[in-house]
Structure 1
Amino acid sequence: MNISFSADLPDTGFILIPVLKDHLDSKILKDVDARTDGAVMRAARVAEFTGKPGEALTVPAPQGLADAIIVLLGLGDASDLTAKDAHGLGGKAAAQVIGKTTTAALLIDGLEIGGLKGEALAVAAGTGALLRNYDFDLYRKKTAKKDKKVLSSFAIIGSGLEKASEKMDAEKAVVEGVFFARDLVTEPPNVLHPESYAERCRELEKLGVKVTILDEADMAKLGMNTLLGVGQGSTKGSRLAVMEWKGGGDEAPLAFIGKGVTFDTGGISLKPGDGMWDMKFDMGGSAAVVGAMMALAGRKAKANVVGLVGLVENMPDGDAQRPADVVTSMSGQTVEVLNTDAEGRLVLADVLTYAQKFHKPRAMVDLATLTGAIIISLAHEYGGLFTKDDAFAESLLSSAKTAGEELWRMPLGKAHDEMIKSDIADMKNIGGREGGSSSAAAFLARFVEDDIPWAHLDIAGTAWATKDADVWPKGATGYGVRLLDQFVRDGYEG
């Protein structure tokens, strides 16, 4: 979709006007109302439109703009709005017209949302509109396509937006990364399995990313047995994809690490059949990493970043890992596997070790759809943030807020580490139902060297949505891509 910026009010098509609660005297609304000889305000009075959040009023073909359709969008109280709502504005506007038209215009002149106004608001709204305009329709062949149109052009109208197009280019690269992540998560597991996923990662080479793929033989030589153990019941070979973007000179890289379980049956600890189809998105953490690497390369980020994703399929089979097996990780630590459905942490353990041994990162962030417990704690509103480093936590929380992909810090302490003590090995892979997300994070912490800033993001509740939201249609959200990109912008670009 093309995003354009202009100071001129169009006189045809859909014209979307955001309205703060009880602010029907805004300059935007007054200007349009004057063009329509008062028709817009008359309609607002008749409909008792006040600008409450989620409220919308359509005024078709008013006098003076007879070839236009005016849509008033209620935003709610200005004091309640954040930077997330600035992105949401563009998404809300796009959602109003998707399926009705292929072009639309959004008026923002004089508007401020979450401290953003002018060019900053215009770019945020444009980004939100792009994000909401996603559609995955690859597998509808003989049946009718979805009964909707996607937008082809979206104009943002306001004064002082001359440089907005220039700034929008970087955001478009980030959106491409989000869309790539969404595509990966949405693909069916018979199409996207570890072997084919690894080849999809190679698509980043055209952007200047160095991509290295390790197969099972390569990983076996390195002793990556916790990762390999998860995939040993599958006919699809496990893979490790390493993506390097070097835009920052000789400095040590920042490492992003993702769980890529392309389908999770639970293995021998088999999940219930009802709802198991959702487990194609158990690779959402890896998709966020791959999408972020695409975004960083696409906008030519001035930073060194390495993305590493462990790709496995967790299947029950005569060769599958058993509950009570003990495996030796790449770090040399041993793990008693009591539940084969707690597999993501086993994958990440070896990838964390690999990242530290071969890339000597200045800091690490891992992302994973790791536990159902995080959904019980945070629902689908936040990703869970686990780290022992307060400063690192604050920097991630700040970037997440700016990006509109928010995190909530969760506890990670000595008590959670005690939960994973094993009677016969260095640790066990589950700590019980209580504090399950924290004990999972404590497991990962055992594979991180003490002097490296590290954080674990549990995104089980945010990688997939069962209903539409401001900046995504229901389905894969691509959560994590914008967060990671913002984190690089805030602290790692020269």
Structure 2
Amino acid sequence: MNLRNKMKKPLLWCAVALFSFSTMAVTPQPFLKTQVQFNQSQQQADILVILVPENITELNMAKWSKVTRSQINRAIQVAEFTGKSGTKLEIVAPVGLDFGRVVLLGVGEPAQLSRAKAEELGATLSTHVNATKAKRVHVNSQLISDIELNTTISASLAHGMELRNYRFDRFKSKPAARPEQKYSLQVADVKATQARYQQLHALAQGVFTARELTNLPGSSGYPEVFANYSREVLEPLGVKVTILTPEQVKALGMGSLYGVSQGSDNKSYLLIAHWQGAPGQPIALVGKGNTYDTGGYNLKTTSSSIIRMHTDKAGAAAVVGAVQALAGQKAAVNVVAVAPLSINVISRDAQLPGDVVTAGDGSTIEIGSTDAEGRLILADGIWYAREHLKARAIVDIATLTGSKVRALGTAYSAVFTQDSAIEQTLRQAGEQVQERLWPLPLTGYDDITKSRIADRMNTGSPGAQAGAIFLQHFAADTPWAHVDMAGDAFSATAKGIHPEGSNGYGVRLLTEWVQLYQQAN
């Protein structure tokens, strides 16, 4: 036996050991250590935050001494602080107060402060507080005199703080300490603010789940792990979870989904999560869950693109997070998430360019590119929602095409639909949560996905339209829209309500949309 043969077993053992390490168990864990409570009186704290409407030039808070008022109003004058939304002024060691710091946080004109802007203020505040050693923070909102505005702004502020304080640190051996402050918010109506906050807190939990699932590396968040993690999160909320195994996917004829993972030991799954908070046919949310995308034999060739391909499951994470949020809110909606789950890798058994697969509806697809795999798995997910779940409306969401990024950048996601009710409510929801949508056309692209040897091909030009038109076939006559969120699921740096990394894009959009669509239809 030569030296090369003698070395085979040790090298194989090392490879197996490394693979086992990278596939450690992934289970849900708490996301926040911060605490929020609401009251009607001032609480002891390290920092006092006062929400200041625009053009209040002098503060005269209850129980402030003349010396305290003089110091703080002098600081306002010198700093030319006007209360414009997003501005802040900090006074250290204020005279006559037991607080170490007073922070004046401008809210602008309260009647004009949108929900999204209030959430941004919360993120601004949490970032400021996290840079101090403060453990207790009291937020006084009494200068916002309108009770309804006081309620919505205070709850949204707390929501923004929570969204910014999420951390993905499960793979760090010594993670940095998470923010751990106790916030007390002095509000006009404790009961109403608490109720509104609980709805937003449930939404935040859905966002956190989507961030966590999307952040998981390829070898840790493969289809089976994604499905089981989702089940653990959703079932305690009363969501009915069904997981179709690779064998079941294949037996149901979903060759379009099955084929993407056929080159991997981790084959394709289909996750169905149903929150039945109302009678009737469900609204279906179908999310692309390609848990890692090498491109297959149409290999991605740049390190800058391939290293983030764990985010290719962000669409599936969004629909899971949205159903979690709606269930947590006990929303009166009948909604089902369908997440086709795959992993696109290369092996001797992997799908080849030019192969033909048969989708669940019986139609055939020529594989023009193995890197256009997202529409392949969505095709069977949409068909399943239509055929097996009898959905009354379907919205699919996916990190689908580079063409979308070239067309719209990341300020907007693209929406494709011929249903005006879906488009209107989707865009309305997007404006409310600042996950905005811009419509792109579906008509005028005849034969864009035509194949010489099959019913259709999974490629075409322009790319964003080709993906949408390909998917439209599988929705058939069901009201449907396709949201291409390519480029939107990852924040390269922390900004606003999003920390660095996967941001949970789509959860807030879909959660709002389902409720708007339910009300309108």
Q: TM-score scaled by structure 2?
A: 0.86
1:455 and 2:481 matched:
yes
- The match for 2:404 is 374
Structure 2 residue identity aligned to 1:298: G
- The match for 1:84 is 116
Structure 2 residue identity aligned to 1:104: V
Please show how residues 145-294 of structure 1 align to structure 2 within 5 Å: 145-146=175-176, 148-203=177-232, 204-249=234-279, 251-275=280-304, 276-294=306-324
Structure 2 residue identity aligned to 1:186: N
Task: Give SS of 2:513's match.
Answer: helix
1:373-429 deviations in Å (ceiling 9; x for gaps)? 222233222222221111210011112222x14222222222235322223322221
Task: Between 269-278 and 96-105, report the one with greater CA deviation.
Answer: 96-105
Paired with 1:26 and 1:47, the residues of 2 have a C-alpha distance of 13
Paired with 1:104 and 1:457, the residues of 2 have a C-alpha distance of 40
Paired with 2:71 and 2:181, the residues of 1 have a C-alpha distance of 29
Structure-2 change in CA distance of 1:155 and 1:376 (3 Å): farther
Contact 2:430 2:437 in 1 (8 A): no
Say what the alpha-carbon RMSD is for the aligned residues.
Answer: 2.6
Paired with 2:313 and 2:66, the residues of 1 have a C-alpha distance of 53
Q: Give the number of the structure whose alpha-carbon radius of gyration is greater.
A: 2
How far 1:284 sits from its partner (Å)? 0.4
Structure-2 change in CA distance of 1:420 and 1:163 (3 Å): same
Paired with 1:220 and 1:149, the residues of 2 have a C-alpha distance of 44
Select the residue among 118, 135, 144 that pairs with 2:167. Answer: 135
Please show how residues 8-87 of structure 1 align to structure 2 within 5 Å: 8-10=41-43, 12-19=45-52, 23-25=55-57, 36-51=68-83, 55-74=87-106, 81-87=113-119
Task: Between 71-80 and 294-303, report the one with greater CA deviation.
Answer: 71-80
Structure-2 change in CA distance of 1:109 and 1:416 (3 Å): farther
Select the residue among 354, 357, 369 that pairs with 2:384. Answer: 354
Paired with 2:39 and 2:200, the residues of 1 have a C-alpha distance of 18
1:383 and 2:416 matched:
no
How far 1:323 sits from its partner (Å)? 1.4
Paired with 2:63 and 2:289, the residues of 1 have a C-alpha distance of 52
Select the residue among 487, 490, 493 that pairs with 2:516. Answer: 490
- The match for 1:430 is 459
Contact 1:133 1:151 in 2 (8 A): no
Task: Between 168-177 and 230-239, report the one with greater CA deviation.
Answer: 168-177
1:175-219 deviations in Å (ceiling 9; x for gaps)? 111111111111222111111111112212222111111122211
Task: Give SS of 1:117's match.
Answer: helix
Structure-2 change in CA distance of 1:344 and 1:173 (3 Å): same
Structure 1 residue identity aligned to 2:310: K
Contact 1:28 1:108 in 2 (8 A): no
Contact 2:45 2:136 in 1 (8 A): no
Q: How many residues get paired?
A: 484
1:295-321 deviations in Å (ceiling 9; x for gaps)? 122222222111110110000111111
Paired with 2:409 and 2:62, the residues of 1 have a C-alpha distance of 41
Structure 1 residue identity aligned to 2:283: L
Paired with 1:443 and 1:31, the residues of 2 have a C-alpha distance of 67
Unpaired runs of 5+ residues, structure 1, are none
Task: Give SS of 1:234's match.
Answer: coil
Paired with 2:289 and 2:130, the residues of 1 have a C-alpha distance of 32
Contact 2:394 2:475 in 1 (8 A): no
1:323 and 2:358 matched:
no
Select the residue among 473, 480, 485 that pairs with 2:499. Answer: 473
Structure 2 residue identity aligned to 1:226: S
Contact 1:194 1:311 in 2 (8 A): yes
Structure-2 change in CA distance of 1:363 and 1:329 (3 Å): same
